[in-house]
Amino acid sequence: MSAVEGRWPASPSYSDYLRADSHPVPEFLLQESRRDFGCAPLAVERYTSQTFFDREAERLWPRVWQMVCREEELREVGDAIVYEIVGKSFIVLRSAPGSIRAFYNSCPHRGRKLLDGPGRLSRLRCAFHGFRWRLDGCVESIPCEGDFAHVAAGDFDLPEARVACWGGFVFLNMDRNAPALEDYLGVLPAHFARWRLEDRYKAVHVGKVIACNWKVAQEAFMESYHVIATHPQILKFCADANSRYDILGDNVNRNLTAFGAPSPHLGAAVEESATVDGMLEMLGRKRDAAPQNRTPGASAGGSPRATLGALVRRSFSRTYAGDWSRATDAELLDAMVYNVFPNFSPWGGFAPNIVYRWRPNGRDVASCLMEVMILKPLGVGAVRPDPAPLRLLGPDEPWSSVAELPILGPVIDQDMQNMPLVQQGLAASGTGRVQLGRYQESRIRHFHARMDALLAD
């Protein structure tokens, strides 16, 4: 193969799977988009050096749009959450029915942090000397106010970061000169217009501190190349090496991996029934009792993907509100993993959408917080449930201990077996370099190219 020119040449390609879909596939999924970022190795210091981390803290985090929470977490006026990033802290709150604001979580008097965690507030108050603010951040009362006659009016109002929303998510940016969120997100809103994450609710939210740099954790979820060694149990129904990797502008890329089709690493010997059975087992689904559904590979007269797509489509129609008749097999089965620079990764498609976020843990170069959300469509006839609060796992609690992550939990535990050891191995590196595959790891290279541009600017 000429890796410089194109994708890894496993056959069929992901686009071939799309063209064989039982339903018409939208054009934006068919479009392939590659970009060449060269093939220079990455220095391990990117992951291990406190100096490099500090440059990220100064030049990257204050200038990017960051997903801070779901809008549904700020449903009522006064609902507030605290968002923290490399030593900065923000109060993100609904200040009026149509307005969400983000205040620096620091008292303009002598700096006390104002809020510790989520809550519903009628006003903001500092517990140190009792300054008070309205929900729009304007200072409302100051004990012994005359003692501050030398401070200009407005100087005790709470400074704000920019806030914007997309897809039911709230984003924050500290940089007043940054592009608008809709420009920053590029093609993302157009792609997700079909999947409407704003209509979903946060059914699951789990986090865990991991002993590795935030980029080590994130990059473990940016390619399907690791499936062969890290998740071999899914090879029968995961077309890992056939995956497509698309670079979709400065801040967005995606990885499309077909499920319900076997890995080419297994050769041609995989029976279709083994692919269907393996996929069904992973989904925790039993085959329908109807005779025509007992042997899905053969009975539907189509591919395993068409059969599985039909099964999931039927199940969705029974379970979730909405019309699923035009959902493609791909959108019901596949991993459509988008990444938005620097650390937000929503899955596209119609299956319950996974959302990842990775953040440094304070200012520790070798520790991070990984969070997983699952967004679900509303149930048939159901009212919108309250969003799930974050459940933070302890150091010895595996992801598989979360009952709401029956499929994903054990898989992430396999990824977790790598991450701290990657960090340790990078620190012990004999080459000082990380070498990336030209195509299958191209999203990681895109990420670092984007980061380099910001750090140098």
Chain contacts with Fe ion (rule: CB under 5 A): 415
Choose the contact partner of 415 out of ligand FES, Fe ion, none; CB within 5 to 8 A by kind. Answer: Fe ion
Cβ proximity to ligand FES: between 55 and 109 the closer is: 109
Mark the segment that binds ligand FES (CB under 6 A) among 103-111, 149-157, 241-249, 375-383: 103-111
Distance CA 378, CA 324 (A): 13
Tell me how far, at minimum, the Cβ of 73 lies from ligand FES, in Å.
26
Whether cis (ω within 30° of 0) applies to the bond prior to 342 is: yes
Helix (H, G, I), strand (E, B) or coil at 201: strand
Distance CA 335, CA 257 (A): 5
Helix (H, G, I), strand (E, B) or coil at 393: strand
Sequence-distant (≥ 6) Cβ neighbours of residue 28 within 8 angstroms: 187, 190, 191
Choose the contact partner of 131 out of Fe ion, ligand FES, none; CB within 5 to 8 A by kind. Answer: ligand FES
Cβ proximity to ligand FES: between 63 and 109 the closer is: 109
Cβ proximity to ligand FES: between 112 and 384 the closer is: 112
Distance CA 366, CA 364 (A): 5
DSSP 8-state symbol, 320: B
Mark the segment that binds ligand FES (CB under 6 A) among 63-71, 104-112, 200-208, 435-443: 104-112
Q: Helices H, strands E: what count in the chain?
A: 14, 20
DSSP 8-state symbol, 147: G
Strand (E) or helix (H) holding 159: none
Q: Which residues of 105-143 are buried (b: 16+ CB within 10 A; e: fewer)?
A: bbbbbeeebbbeebeebeebbbeeeebebebebebbebe
The 110-149 site mask, x for binding ligand FES (CB under 6 A), equals x-x-------------x-xx-x------------------
Choose the contact partner of 380 out of ligand FES, Fe ion, none; CB within 5 to 8 A by kind. Answer: none
Beta-bridge partner residues of 389:
none
Choose the contact partner of 330 out of Fe ion, ligand FES, none; CB within 5 to 8 A by kind. Answer: none
Cβ proximity to ligand FES: between 128 and 183 the closer is: 128
Whether cis (ω within 30° of 0) applies to the bond prior to 387 is: no
Tell me how far, at minimum, the Cβ of 129 lies from ligand FES, in Å.
3
Cβ proximity to ligand FES: between 150 and 286 the closer is: 150
Q: Are 242 and 12 in contact (CB under 8 A)?
A: yes
Choose the contact partner of 110 out of Fe ion, ligand FES, none; CB within 5 to 8 A by kind. Answer: ligand FES
Closest to 274 in 3D by CA, of 238, 227, 231: 238
Tell me how far, at minimum, the Cβ of 130 lies from ligand FES, in Å.
6
Cβ proximity to ligand FES: between 114 and 220 the closer is: 114
Choose the contact partner of 129 out of ligand FES, Fe ion, none; CB within 5 to 8 A by kind. Answer: ligand FES
Residue position matching structure tokens 């993302």: 188
Q: Are 417 and 399 in contact (CB under 8 A)?
A: no
Tell me how far, at minimum, the Cβ of 94 lies from ligand FES, in Å.
23
Choose the contact partner of 9 out of ligand FES, Fe ion, none; CB within 5 to 8 A by kind. Answer: none
Cβ proximity to Fe ion: between 313 and 443 the closer is: 443
- Size of residue set near ligand FES by CB under 6 A: 8
List contacts with ligand FES (CB under 6 A).
107, 109-110, 112, 126, 128-129, 131
